[in-house]
């Protein structure tokens, strides 16, 4: 008598549907932003009268300035689209969601998937979307993006770390995150997904190429060394230095002074 377990579900169909949706969202963002930018410039008469083909230097320079301005307007409209499309979507609730057709399956995964499409559009903008990461860190769009799209943050990230669950990720003030670091709020197992909030408090430093999993809390003044993997539901205390795979406490750091400065002897990795 054979002892065979049921085959796990094949997610290919759902993933193809997600990729189709992702493509549609991207095309809409690109076409709509480009069309609105062109219409805006035409309505205000901002296009140079002389053609760029065969133009002299003065005319070519004028075209260059107007096209640069058009790039800025395009990116503003692009970010505004992300905010407008995300605003009506419910925020997925924290919890464990089965992927094997069990009774716990519910629409929360759909809201998470829809939010994910906008996230990918935010991190992977098309030409000339190279200013998206700048605009989402600058007021006034930063306030809207932080409140509606996420992550909720009082910090500015020059390196634009990967944050795949922005609605469940929160950053305090003066947080520094190194290159190629991911801060996530979900974890997979063979049967489902756990979604749980991840919080990084004020004055935290996270080194490059680190991975912070769901449910973690990194408290004020803490340091995570580069290349570390912080396991789900880990709580890193104030002024603690952690590192390794998996990350463990290495030492206690001197308390921050009133201005949020340490003694300058903590090496993290950019």
Residue 1 placed within a domain:
no
Residues 44 and 94 in one domain: yes
Whether 250 and 123 map to the same domain: the answer is: no
pLDDT at 264: 56
Q: Is the pLDDT of residue 246 over 90?
A: yes
pLDDT value for 131: 84
Output the CA–CA distances (angstroms, integers) from residue 172 to 132, 202, 212, in the order listed.
22, 4, 15
Whether 243 is covered by a domain: the verdict is yes
Peptide bond before residue 140 is cis, with ω within 30 degrees of 0: yes
Work out the number of other CB atoms within 10 angstroms of the CB of residue 173.
13
Return d(Cα 11, Cα 3) in angstroms, integer: 24
Do 115 and 42 fall into the same domain? yes
Query: CA 166, 172, 177: angle at the middle one, nearest 5?
Result: 70
96 and 55 in a common domain:
yes
pLDDT higher than 70, residue 9 = no
In a domain, 176, yes or no: yes
The CATH number of whichever domain residue 213 belongs to comes to 2.160.10.10
pLDDT value for 100: 62
Q: For residue 4, tell me if it sits in a domain.
A: no
Looking at the fold, whether 122 and 164 belong to one and the same domain comes out as no
Which stretch of 100-104, 122-126, 144-148 has the lowest confidence by average pLDDT?
100-104
Indicate whether 146 and 19 sit together in one domain.
yes
Question: What number is the average pLDDT over the span 199-218?
Answer: 95
**What total number of domains does the chain contain?**
2
In a domain, 162, yes or no: yes
First to last CA, the chain: 58
* 3 in any annotated domain: no
Q: Tell me: the pLDDT tens digits for 159-187?
A: 778 888 888 999 999 999 998 899 999 98
Whether the predicted pLDDT of 138 surpasses 90:
no
For residue 4, name the pLDDT band (cuts at 50, 70, 90): low
Q: Do both 209 and 80 map to the same domain?
A: no
- Domain end position, chosen among 133, 150, 167: 150
As a residue count, the chain comes to: 270
- pLDDT single digits (tens) 107-127: 777 788 788 788 878 777 776
- Is residue 114 domain-shared with residue 180, that is, in the same domain? no
Same domain as 163, residue 104: no
Same domain, 144 and 218: no
Measuring CA to CA, how many Å separate 69 from each of 4, 15, 45, 76?
A: 64, 38, 13, 11
263 lies in the same domain as 195: yes
Last residue of a domain, one of 150, 165, 188: 150
Residue 104 binned pLDDT confidence (cut-offs 50, 70, 90)? very low
Parent domain of 56: 11-150
pTM reported for the whole predicted model: 0.80
- Of the candidates 106, 103, 117, 99, which has an alpha carbon nearest to the alpha carbon of residue 11? 99
| Residue bearing the bigger pLDDT, 96 or 229 | 229
């Amino acid at each position: 008598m054979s002892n065979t377990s049921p085959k796990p579900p094949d997610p290919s169909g759902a993933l193809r549907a997600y990729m189709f949706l992702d493509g549609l969202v991207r095309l809409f963002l690109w076409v709509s932003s480009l069309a609105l930018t062109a219409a805006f410039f035409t309505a205000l008469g901002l296009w140079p009268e002389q053609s760029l083909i065969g133009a002299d230097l003065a005319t070519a320079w004028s075209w260059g300035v107007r096209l640069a301005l058009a790039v800025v307007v395009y990116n503003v409209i692009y970010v505004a689209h992300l905010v407008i499309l995300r605003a009506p979507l419910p925020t997925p609730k924290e919890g464990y969601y089965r992927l094997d057709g069990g009774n716990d399956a519910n629409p929360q995964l759909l809201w998470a998937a829809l939010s994910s499409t906008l996230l990918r559009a935010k991190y992977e903008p098309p030409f000339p979307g190279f200013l998206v990461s700048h605009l989402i860190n600058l007021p006034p769009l930063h306030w809207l993006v932080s409140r509606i799209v996420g992550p909720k943050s009082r910090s500015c990230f020059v390196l634009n770390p990967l944050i795949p669950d922005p609605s469940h990720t929160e950053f305090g003030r003066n947080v520094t995150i190194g290159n190629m670091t991911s801060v996530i709020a979900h974890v997979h197992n063979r049967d489902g997904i756990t979604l749980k909030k991840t919080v990084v408090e004020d004055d935290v430093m996270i080194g490059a190429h680190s991975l912070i999993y769901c449910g973690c809390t990194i408290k004020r003044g803490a340091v995570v060394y580069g290349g570390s993997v912080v396991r789900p539901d880990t709580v890193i205390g104030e002024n603690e230095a952690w590192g390794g795979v998996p990350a463990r406490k290495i030492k206690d750091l001197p308390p921050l002074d009133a201005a949020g400065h340490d003694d300058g002897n903590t090496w993290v990795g950019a």
